[in-house]
Amino acid sequence: MTAAPEKFSLEPERYELRSSALHHFNLQRRDFFKVMGAGIAIFTVAANASAAQESGARRHDGDQDQPKDISSWLHINDDGVVTVFTGKVEVGQNTRTTLAQSVADELRVPLASIRMVMGDTALTPFDMGTFGSRSTPYMSPQLRRAASAARDLLLGQAAAEWKTSPDKLVAGGGKIINPASGAILTYARLARGKTLAHDLPDADPITPPAKWTVAGKSAPKLDARAFVTGRHQYTPDLRPANVLHAKVLRPPTFRATLVSVDLSAAQAMPGVVVVRDADFVAVAATTERTAEKALAAIHAEWKNTPQISSKELYSYLKENLDTEEKPSPHEKGSVTNALAAAAQRHEQTYTVAYIAHAPLEPRAAVADWKDGKLTVYTGSQRPFGIQEELASALHIPKDRVRVIVPDTGSAYGGKHTGDAALEAARLSSAANRPVKIVWTREEEFTWSYFRPAGVIEIKGALTLDGKVTAWEFHNYNSGGSGIQTPYDVANQLIQFHPVNSPLRQGSYRGLAATANHFARESFMDELAHAAQIDPLEFRMKNLSETRLRAMFESAAKTFGWPRKKTQPGQGFGMGGGVEKGGYVATCAEVSVDPNSSEVRVVRIVTAFECGAIVNPDGLRHQVIGANIMGLGGALFESIDFDNGRISNPHFAQYRVPRFRDIPQIEAILLDRKDLPPAGAGETPIVGLAPAIGNAIFDATGVRLRALPLAPHGLKLQKNNA
């Protein structure tokens, strides 16, 4: 096995949306009640393609005893506890709480009676992964359907006992009530002694947002007390008996190959397990310190390959296109004709750097072989994907691999791959003991993957009265998410150009939507200034999408747009857009100090709408959190590299937002009870970078077209100040 992936580039969108080849789930339905005890169980069957992609065990082993395409299930036991099984994972986005709210709402039980079992390949149905803002729009309705069916079943049970019709009964507070007689049967009582299983093939109607009772209101994080007392166990906190601690010998540069290695000194150390498998060299020992010493005792010779540096990055991206994978462009009207005929033509180039997710919990895994079966705990967004990676790398059948994801110390799109899981599993098979690996911060900054860097070129044409008539947009490498313009432009040519990335790259909160919005909304600001129209008015003139218009109007109103400058160095800007069913607009105020050249974001107002709001407080967390995370990428985050090495793989060199960087932030949330809920973890990030860039231009007259905008502040020329 090799620890590093063979294919170096990991294109984000295509990678995310690629379905696994073989779907499978381990818990046989006939074994279900053995695990869960007596009670009532509902198994939902994926009814349509999107649900099947989201979840759904499409089985291939011909066992007719099991229903096909099971996407989720829940169980009500005889003490009234409702256990919900979903392959989604909790990484700080609070989906454990919001999914539980939806079930409680639909089943008519208090939130406290819900237990969520998440991200466990042996217990939960197949799920592609927790990414793409899909849990709320796709998993939540599935669980609601299961809960709704359970409610119907309970109503039917009670009706049979009382010899009446179910439609004369009501469900509420974990009970079935007969309003005519005043009789009550609790769910616990109805589940007692039963092993009732029910498949749910159809899309039953679910409760519309306007009638929600538990959902739609703020609910605190489930199990919150375990987090303030330090009791919650993240993957690195697991301590199985006899566990060994692992360290991996990392190559000195990316793409380096092992020429020779002398393991003898490490192998001679007592209690040290040493593994060499192809270019994978690693040790495990009873303490981390001993493992470090063993690693230091290994002498290896590597062959390095010359590679580019960050300085050459953007020309490299333009010159190293992956022509095989090139998607077809989006075309409408004729950009060529419209540009030729235009009153005004403009063109600009924007760039975005590679950035790191830097989750505070680094990649970690605990692997244990017992009786020929492998169990791996790991912080990941794709437990089933990692199960597959492990089975394939270790050449064992998938049903002998169980992956469990404890609630994880954040991910932001950065924990899709199973690198740490593979390393721990390989060592554990050699050591015949449980092995734990926790990546160091330097490993996390170096050997994980990055948000793709990119170059974006835009051409636009304007009429004399400020209507955009042509829009040509080329994105090199960073990706296709959020690439379409929401503005009304008759002539469009929009194209994503895949590139053979010099660094390993992958998913990130919002994917390429941040880059595409940065370029598009900066360019819209440039066009507004060229047309000599206020940036808000200019957008409105070119935008008929009502939900997005409402966001711009709402953010601008709270922000006080247009604002008068009251001090030197002050500036105001905006940016916004549509992505993954979420509508966002952000206004920012910046202050540029002409003496220190420091750029400070003073105030942010973000308006966001994603349909009906499931948990207002949780949504506020996501919107504000996305803005703070976005602040780092907008102003100062950048992965620097040279000849196969990352030059800033430490928090001391790679600056992330800290308390002193945090501006005043207001989140305006529009609750659309008339619309189904969409996801919210990603889209609120996209308006911030252009809003800041546009505000810097407003403050200084300097147009910045590269993310990060001002990693070392902004030195002003005399004539700009």
Partner 1 sequence: MPIHAQVNGKSRVFESDPDTTLLFALREELGLTGTKYGCGEGQCGACTILLNGAPRRSCQLSVNDAARKSIITIEGFEQNGQLHPVQQAFLDQDAFQCAYCTSGMIVSSVALLQKNPNPSEPEIVQALQGNICRCGTHGRIIAAVQQAAKAMHGRTP
662 binds partner 1 (CB under 8 A): yes
438 binds partner 1 (CB under 8 A): yes
Residue 619's H or E segment, with its range, is helix 616-635
Query: Which residues, numbered 360-379, are part of the site for partner 1 (CB under 8 A)?
Result: 360-362
* DSSP H stretches of helix in 472-533: 513-531
Q: Residue 643: phi, psi to the nearest 5? A: 50, 50
CB neighbour list of residue 336: distance below 8 Å, 6 or more residues apart: none
The least distance separating partner 1 from the CB of residue 685, rounded to whole angstroms, comes to: 10
Exactly one of 410, 484, 500, 648 binds partner 1 (CB under 8 A); which one?
410
Torsion of CA 449, 451, 455, 460, to 10 degrees: 160
Spatial contact of 382 and 408, defined as CB atoms under 8 Å apart: no
| Closest C-alpha to 451, from 513, 520, 389 | 513
Compare residues 535 and 679 and give the one whose CB is closer to partner 1.
679
User: How many whole angstroms separate alpha carbon 234 and alpha carbon 408?
Assistant: 6
The least distance separating partner 1 from the CB of residue 375, rounded to whole angstroms, comes to: 19
Of the candidate spans 30-38, 228-236, 246-254, 299-307, the one that interacts with partner 1 by CB under 8 A turns out to be 228-236
415 binds partner 1 (CB under 8 A): no
Torsion of CA 442, 404, 62, 372, to 10 degrees: 80
Query: Which residues, numbered 84-103, are part of the site for partner 1 (CB under 8 A)?
Result: 91-94
Binding mask 242-281 for partner 1 (x = CB under 8 A): ---x------------------------------------
| Closest C-alpha to 533, from 604, 467, 472, 589 | 467
User: How many whole angstroms separate alpha carbon 99 and alpha carbon 127?
Assistant: 15
Strands 599-609 and 582-592, sheet pairing? antiparallel
The least distance separating partner 1 from the CB of residue 299, rounded to whole angstroms, comes to: 23
The least distance separating partner 1 from the CB of residue 233, rounded to whole angstroms, comes to: 7
Spatial contact of 609 and 669, defined as CB atoms under 8 Å apart: yes
Compare residues 92 and 482 and give the one whose CB is closer to partner 1.
92
Q: Which tokens go with 374?
A: 């492998």
The least distance separating partner 1 from the CB of residue 656, rounded to whole angstroms, comes to: 6
The least distance separating partner 1 from the CB of residue 521, rounded to whole angstroms, comes to: 21
The least distance separating partner 1 from the CB of residue 227, rounded to whole angstroms, comes to: 4
The least distance separating partner 1 from the CB of residue 88, rounded to whole angstroms, comes to: 15
Binding mask 605-644 for partner 1 (x = CB under 8 A): ------------x---x--xxxxxx---------------
The least distance separating partner 1 from the CB of residue 96, rounded to whole angstroms, comes to: 11
229 binds partner 1 (CB under 8 A): yes
Of the candidate spans 296-304, 313-321, 408-416, 693-701, the one that interacts with partner 1 by CB under 8 A turns out to be 408-416
Compare residues 92 and 418 and give the one whose CB is closer to partner 1.
92
Compare residues 229 and 566 and give the one whose CB is closer to partner 1.
229
Strands 82-86 and 114-118, sheet pairing? parallel
Exactly one of 14, 168, 239, 326 binds partner 1 (CB under 8 A); which one?
239
Exactly one of 8, 15, 162, 234 binds partner 1 (CB under 8 A); which one?
234
Compare residues 18 and 231 and give the one whose CB is closer to partner 1.
231
Spatial contact of 215 and 101, defined as CB atoms under 8 Å apart: yes
Exactly one of 132, 141, 209, 409 binds partner 1 (CB under 8 A); which one?
409
Exactly one of 193, 230, 270, 372 binds partner 1 (CB under 8 A); which one?
230
Q: Which amino acid does the sequence have at 320?
A: N
The least distance separating partner 1 from the CB of residue 256, rounded to whole angstroms, comes to: 24
Q: Which amino acid does the sequence have at 275?
A: V
User: How many whole angstroms separate alpha carbon 648 and alpha carbon 442?
Assistant: 9
User: How many whole angstroms separate alpha carbon 441 and alpha carbon 444?
Assistant: 5
Compare residues 107 and 222 and give the one whose CB is closer to partner 1.
222
Of the candidate spans 257-265, 388-396, 475-483, 653-661, the one that interacts with partner 1 by CB under 8 A turns out to be 653-661
Compare residues 96 and 134 and give the one whose CB is closer to partner 1.
96
Q: Which amino acid does the sequence have at 285?
A: A
CB atoms within 10 A of CB 318: 16
Query: Which residues, numbered 136-175, are part of the site for partner 1 (CB under 8 A)?
Result: none
- CA Rg, the chain, in Å? 27
Query: Which residues, numbered 294-323, are part of the site for partner 1 (CB under 8 A)?
Result: none
DSSP E strands: which ranges in 190-333?
Answer: 195-200, 244-248, 257-262, 273-277, 280-285, 299-303, 330-332
712 binds partner 1 (CB under 8 A): no
660 binds partner 1 (CB under 8 A): yes
Exactly one of 14, 231, 299, 565 binds partner 1 (CB under 8 A); which one?
231
* DSSP H stretches of helix in 365-404: 383-394
DSSP E strands: which ranges in 125-194?
Answer: 170-172, 175-177, 184-186
User: How many whole angstroms separate alpha carbon 630 and alpha carbon 635?
Assistant: 9
Q: Residue 510: phi, psi to the nearest 5? A: 85, -5
| Closest C-alpha to 44, from 86, 88, 1, 106 | 86
Name the residues that contact partner 1, by CB under 8 A.
Answer: 91-94, 220-221, 224-225, 227-234, 236-237, 239, 245, 287-289, 358-362, 407-410, 412, 438, 440-441, 617, 621, 624-629, 650-652, 656-660, 662, 665
